[in-house]
């Protein structure tokens, strides 16, 4: 029987409840066999993160431990070249059966940035795209995505057919949390309890991450 695999890439700097709760709800709603969180090594569009790749990976591993629907995939950290999403999808797809369904989860902000991505128009060769809302984001997609949406979007995400090729918008509990917010709070010496899992919080404190550095 065809499997249903989801992937959520990101810097996870650090992983937070917006990622985790969204991923879990999508995994349940879409009846995925597995949803893999894929930390990026050298994100092509972002400034270098403050935690190391190994630390970001360790936090994602702690976050999903004991949750059978979620898994961690470290393939982007094993590469020595930039981790383009297209390459990751091609690599994951190469390990699946031809009729397995692959779903790429993108937050709305990431989806809106799609036209700047390497080979973005070919992503749908390998996967379907599920767009997650972000409560703090604009509501209009960029002009460059209009034709793609007109040609490929499907109203009901549960109606996505075949291994790849379509786009749907998916509802999940809106959580206006970002890694930027988590880092800002920590830099101000404030608590991020309940914005990240307790195990991640303990790791952040144990490794003294994201604190504003003082000269004293």
List of residues contacting ligand ATP (CB under 6 A): 8, 10-13, 18-19, 22, 106-107, 109-110, 132, 134, 175, 177-180
- Catalogue the E-assigned strands of 92-207: 101-107, 128-132, 167-170
- Catalogue the E-assigned strands of 81-197: 101-107, 128-132, 167-170
> Is the CB of 26 or the CB of 160 nearer to ligand ATP?
26
> Is the CB of 133 or the CB of 153 nearer to ligand ATP?
133
Neighbours of 65 (CB within 10 A): 11
> Is the CB of 91 or the CB of 178 nearer to ligand ATP?
178
Residue 86: CB minimum distance to ligand ATP, A: 15
Residue 215: CB minimum distance to ligand ATP, A: 26
Three-state secondary-structure class, residue 102: strand
* Phi, psi values for residue 146, rounded to 5°: -60, -45
Report the side by side order of strands in the sheet with 4-10.
70-72, 34-39, 4-10, 101-107, 128-132, 167-170
> Is the CB of 22 or the CB of 157 nearer to ligand ATP?
22
Q: DSSP class of residue 136?
A: T
Q: Among candidates 61, 26, 12, which has minimal Cα distance to 183?
A: 12
Residue 97: CB minimum distance to ligand ATP, A: 26
> Is the CB of 38 or the CB of 160 nearer to ligand ATP?
38
Is the Cβ–Cβ distance between 20 and 197 less than 8 Å? Answer: yes
> Is the CB of 14 or the CB of 163 nearer to ligand ATP?
14
Provide the sign of the torsion angle of the four alpha carbons 88, 166, 171, 146, taken in this order. Answer: positive
Terminal alpha carbon distance of the chain: 61
Residue 16: CB minimum distance to ligand ATP, A: 6
């Amino acid at each position: 029987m065809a499997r249903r695999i989801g992937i959520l890439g990101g810097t996870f700097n650090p992983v937070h409840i917006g990622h985790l709760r969204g991923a879990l709800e999508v995994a349940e709603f879409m009846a995925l066999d597995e949803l893999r969180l894929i930390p990026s090594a050298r994100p092509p569009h972002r400034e270098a993160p403050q935690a190391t790749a190994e630390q970001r990976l360790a936090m994602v591993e702690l976050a999903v431990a004991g949750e059978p629907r979620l898994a961690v995939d470290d393939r982007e950290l094993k590469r020595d070249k930039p981790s383009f999403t297209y390459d990751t999808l091609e690599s994951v797809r190469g390990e699946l059966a031809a009729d397995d369904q692959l779903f790429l989860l993108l937050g709305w902000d990431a989806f809106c940035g799609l036209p700047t991505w390497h080979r973005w128009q070919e992503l749908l060769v390998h996967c379907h795209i599920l767009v997650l809302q972000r409560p703090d984001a604009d509501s209009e997609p960029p002009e460059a995505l209009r034709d793609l949406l007109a040609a490929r979007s499907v109203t009901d995400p549960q109606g996505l057919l075949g291994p790849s090729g379509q786009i749907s918008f998916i509802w999940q509990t809106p959580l206006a949390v970002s890694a930027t917010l988590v880092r800002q709070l920590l830099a101000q010496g404030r608590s991020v309890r309940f914005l990240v899992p307790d195990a991640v919080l303990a790791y952040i404190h144990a490794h003294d991450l994201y604190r504003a550095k003082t000269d004293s």
